[in-house]
Amino acid sequence: MFFDHGQALFSGRRVDPTTVPSQMRADRTGPLPDFGRTYGLMYVSDKFKEVVERIEPGKHQFLPFEIIGSNGRHIADMWFMIVCNRLDSVDRSLTTKALYRGVMWQPAREVPREYWPEHVTAETPSRLVFNLTQIGSHHLWFDKHIGTAQVPYSSDILVDCLKAANVTGVTFTELEDV
């Protein structure tokens, strides 16, 4: 079954808890990862939640739910995580993508020339650079101009803490920043 949540789950804003399920059925027997996704929702374990809460206390929304097996037995208690930071975090002077119609970063070659940054030519490689000053003290966020991001961005501090806690199920990709 597929649920179309649109961009609500990636908007960086809280959601109405009554619209989020309180149970999920899983046909697995092994241990669950500390981070995962199902039907567009990110779920996390207590361990993952505790790390995030230590770094950004009370900022993000964690909604409890139960995972049950196909036999109806309790498998685990987990949390749906709703990231509640929505930032404009991309550095405009170094990024070579185009902010198409002022809404979404796109490769320059895919949009009309009038939207290209002044420093971009047809030969310029596509580059997205995050600005640490714009990010400030935030550690977990969605960028409001990167509409296709289905996972949040995170600070090096949060990544280091998640690695130190040995969380499972999450993949980290280093991105360019200034």
In-domain check, residue 91: yes
Query: Running DSSP on this structure, what letter comes out for residue 162?
Result: H
133 and 146 co-located in one domain? yes
Q: Which of 8-22, 47-61, 63-77, 110-124 has the highest mean pLDDT?
A: 47-61
> b/e string for 22-53 if b means 16 or more Cβ within 10 A?
eebeeeeeeebebbbeeeebbbbbeebbebbe
Residues 91 and 178: beta-carbon distance below 8 Å: yes
Task: Round the average pLDDT of the chain to a whole number and report it.
Answer: 89
The pLDDT-based confidence of 28 (bands split at 50, 70, 90) is: confident
Integer Cα distance of 72 and 30 in angstroms:
16
State the total domains in the chain: 2
pLDDT of residue 167 exceeding 50 = yes
Same domain, 76 and 134: no
Whether 76 and 13 share a structural domain: yes
Asked if residue 172 is part of any domain, the answer here is: no
Identify the domain containing residue 101 by its residue range: 86-164
pLDDT above 70: residue 4: no
Considering the domain architecture, whether residues 72 and 52 belong to the same structural domain is answered as yes
How much of the chain exceeds pLDDT 70, in percent? 92
pLDDT in tens, 117-157: 888 888 899 999 999 999 999 999 999 898 666 679 999 99
More confident residue, 98 or 15: 98
Answer whether residue 1 shows pLDDT above 90: no
Domain boundary among 82, 101, 123: 82
Rounded mean pLDDT, 19-37: 87
Is residue 74 domain-shared with residue 100, that is, in the same domain? no
Name the strand (E) or helix (H) holding 170.
Answer: none
Considering the domain architecture, whether residues 65 and 120 belong to the same structural domain is answered as no
How many angstroms separate the CA atoms of 22 and 11, rounded? 21
Q: Report, as an integer, the average pLDDT of 152-165.
A: 97
Is 50 exceeded by the pLDDT of residue 76? Answer: yes
Is 173 a domain residue? no
Q: Is residue 90 part of a domain?
A: yes
Both tokens of 142, joined, read 């969605």
Last residue of a domain, one of 82, 107, 132: 82
pTM of the predicted protein model: 0.87
pLDDT in the model for residue 13: 72
* 169 is a domain residue: no
Q: What percent of the chain has pLDDT over 90?
A: 65
User: What is the pLDDT at residue 10?
Assistant: 60
Of 50, 82, 114, the residue that ends a domain is: 82
Residues 155 and 95 both lie in one domain: yes
